[in-house]
Amino acid sequence: MKKILTSSQTVGPFFHFGLKPIAVLSSEDIPGEKITITGAVLDGTGARVNDAMIEIWQANSRGKYDHPEDQQDRQTTPGFTGFGRVFVNGDGGFEIKTIKPGPVDWLEPGQQAPHINISLFARGVLRRMATRIYFADDPATGGDPVLNLIDGPGRRNTLLAQPVDGRPGAYTWNIVLKGEQETVFFEV
């Protein structure tokens, strides 16, 4: 028998049944600023994509990941893993409730601005699409070394969650899969 390579399979409807949503990453007793991020997944024409899944991975309010490879001299937060998963609703929208992460050490302490790592999975997407959410109203965002690797402010703006007027802790951010306003995605 000869072994041959076959093409990658797309994420199909089977995927949904084996995964549980975790849209609320933080309970009231977890320290940190409570935030809610709402948005939608949009295709290249601006139409909402109604069959996508978003995974969230973030540091706690001190900038520490709950992972053994995070060797920072900071404390983890009991009860906060920093991991979540949401499925878009029938209209392509999503909502994430969590805490605002703290700055994360990179080459120097606190050099990476508060951010949330995002992975997107959807029908027709052969590999996960990785991106980040930064906070437009956070003063550290302008100095983030990863964000500053992206050419042009228009492209960087695709990663900035915008505060919602009159709603403290509320942000809006969309994932655009293609076109002029395409979200910046990173190689993984």
**Is the per-residue pLDDT at 143 higher than 60?**
yes
Q: What is the pTM of this model?
A: 0.87
38: nearest Cα among 23, 60, 19, 16: 23
**Each residue of 67-113: pLDDT tens digit?**
988 888 899 999 999 999 999 999 999 999 999 999 998 776 668 99
Exposure class string for 83-116: b at 16+ Cβ within 10 A, else e = ebbbbbeeebebebbbbbbbbbbeeeeeebbbbb
Please give the residue that has the higher pLDDT: either 18 or 170: 170
Q: For residues 10-15, give the mean pLDDT.
A: 49
CATH numbers and ranges of domains, the chain: 14-176 (2.60.130.10)
Q: How confident is the model at residue 14 (pLDDT cuts 50, 70, 90)?
A: very low
**Each residue of 29-70: pLDDT tens digit?**
899 999 999 999 999 899 999 999 999 999 999 999 999 888
